[in-house]
Amino acid sequence: MVNLTDKKNINVRCSNSKEQFKGFSTKSIHGHEFYDPELGLFKVPIYQTVVWEQFDKITGLPRKTARETELKYSREENPTVYALEKVLAKLDEAEDALAFNCGMAAISTVYLSTLESGSTILISKEAYGVTQQLALNLDKYGVKTLFGGPDTDEIISLIDDKISLVIVETITNPLLKVIDVNEVIKVCKENNVRIVVDNTFATPLLYKPVKNGAWLVLYSLTKYLSGHNDVIGGSVAGNKETIKELWDWRKNLGTIMNPFEAYLVIRGLETLEVRFVKQCENALKIAEFLRDHPKVEEVYYPGLKDSPYYSIANKVFERPLYGGVVSFKIKGGKDAAFNFFKKVNVIKSTPSLGGVETLATYPILSASKSMPQSLKEELGITENLVRLSVGLEDVEDLKEDIEQALKE
């Protein structure tokens, strides 16, 4: 019979030194450091339990996690979730990380912990529509929202010491502009302003905001990091002190991820590098195909050499890869766009991104739906705009599907 004694340190493998976690995939596969010496178990189990016996039978003291928080109740701390957080922190080269039950739970926890009556939040004009909408909802608590950008200079021009929080996305959605995040971070630091970088589209493979000085990096884990369109999750990473503060807010708000979801994200992260690199390669091929297509009015992809964002991407990103999302405008307006969504077959018409399946999204009815109409018009988020999250299917099959879907 397996004897799961109290003595066992359930989620720390002590024998590994930090030097053993150098490469990205080594971190993503082994970075949880989980090891059960009694069973020789090195895969992270799902600790599907709400409660933990609070007092250790040997020491008589409250049981603690490696984070030095008490292990007693899974709304506060759970070893499967904690194992995921260790990987997330390593991938972004941050001190600590927290996992949430969705990207918006991470964002709302950051808002509520940071903002107060009289605060002003500066958000990129092309940020995820719900991130914008939630900030506007805080108006009733006396929080003011300013929209800036979406380009680097337009954001920077609005940053001063009266701003409490800046939120930018490394690659904007849906028009895939690349922000010179290092420049925005620099100006935030000069003005003593906290900056949160939503790095969902870039992943830590292309850019590591905290390593480059941001206050926090934020992800919708629903996308590339879990990668299979079967998990909803979110995360933040930053320094220990900030994460400790957010830990308290997460506990009180009840926004922690559940252990089964954490297990799936740990599993997804193991293949993040191979998945994301391939998705970026596929996306470039699809962008080139669309650029040369007579039914396509315009293509938006920072990896195309004639994109105005190609040089910024090469300056900011750690690798010559440009993400897995491509947007384009179809000739023929809304009807042509609807025809495309009706006819795609391998490609599925649905919101979201970052999974192994190629998805076609209609931004005007999804990510940008809650944006004010005037802002949509200003940014060029039009009725003939389609966003593709390129998956891992064979590119030739994707091209064939697009070709037949572009026919009237």
Ligand X SMILES: Cc1ncc(COP(=O)(O)O)c(C=O)c1O
What are 35's two structure tokens? 């090891």
Rounded least distance, CB 312 to ligand X, Å: 18
Write out the binding residues for ligand X, residues 354-373 only, by CB under 6 A.
367
CB 53 within 8 A of CB 69: no
261 belongs to the binding site for ligand X (CB under 6 A): no
How would you classify residue 148: left for phi > 0, otherwise alpha for psi between -120 and 50, otherwise beta? beta
Segment interacting with ligand X, rule: CB under 6 A, options 65-73, 96-104, 235-243, 281-289 = 96-104
222 belongs to the binding site for ligand X (CB under 6 A): yes
Residue 11 or 226: the one with the smaller Cβ distance to ligand X is: 226
128 belongs to the binding site for ligand X (CB under 6 A): yes
| Cα–Cα nearest to 86, from 272, 235, 299, 277 | 235
Rounded least distance, CB 223 to ligand X, Å: 7
Rounded least distance, CB 145 to ligand X, Å: 16
Count of residues engaged in binding ligand X, rule: CB under 6 A = 13
- 216-220 β-sheet, strand order: 96-100, 234-238, 216-220, 194-198, 165-169, 120-124, 144-148
301 belongs to the binding site for ligand X (CB under 6 A): no
d(Cα 309, Cα 305) in Å, to the nearest integer? 9
**369, burial (CB in 10 Å: exposed 0-12, middle 13-18, buried 19+):** middle
Residue 222 or 282: the one with the smaller Cβ distance to ligand X is: 222
Residue 232 or 375: the one with the smaller Cβ distance to ligand X is: 232
**64, burial (CB in 10 Å: exposed 0-12, middle 13-18, buried 19+):** middle
Return the residue of 227, 234, 259, 323 that touches ligand X, per CB under 6 A: 234
Lookup result for tokens 């030097």: 19
Residue 96 or 169: the one with the smaller Cβ distance to ligand X is: 169
| Cα–Cα nearest to 225, from 76, 106, 51, 396 | 106
Lookup result for tokens 């990473």: 237
Rounded least distance, CB 366 to ligand X, Å: 8
Q: What is the dihedral of CA 301, 306, 311, 314, to 10 degrees?
A: 50
34 belongs to the binding site for ligand X (CB under 6 A): no
Rounded least distance, CB 268 to ligand X, Å: 13
- Convert residues 149-188 into a mask of x (bound to ligand X by CB under 6 A) and - (unbound): --------------------x---x---------------
CA distance from start to end of the chain: 66
Residue 172 or 384: the one with the smaller Cβ distance to ligand X is: 172
Write out the binding residues for ligand X, residues 98-117 only, by CB under 6 A.
102-104
Residue 105 or 185: the one with the smaller Cβ distance to ligand X is: 105
d(Cα 225, Cα 276) in Å, to the nearest integer? 9
232 belongs to the binding site for ligand X (CB under 6 A): yes
Return the residue of 28, 124, 220, 282 that touches ligand X, per CB under 6 A: 220
| Cα–Cα nearest to 219, from 208, 230, 76, 228 | 208
Rounded least distance, CB 222 to ligand X, Å: 4
Give me the residues that bind ligand X (CB under 6 A), please. Answer: 102-104, 128, 169, 173, 198, 200, 220, 222, 232, 234, 367
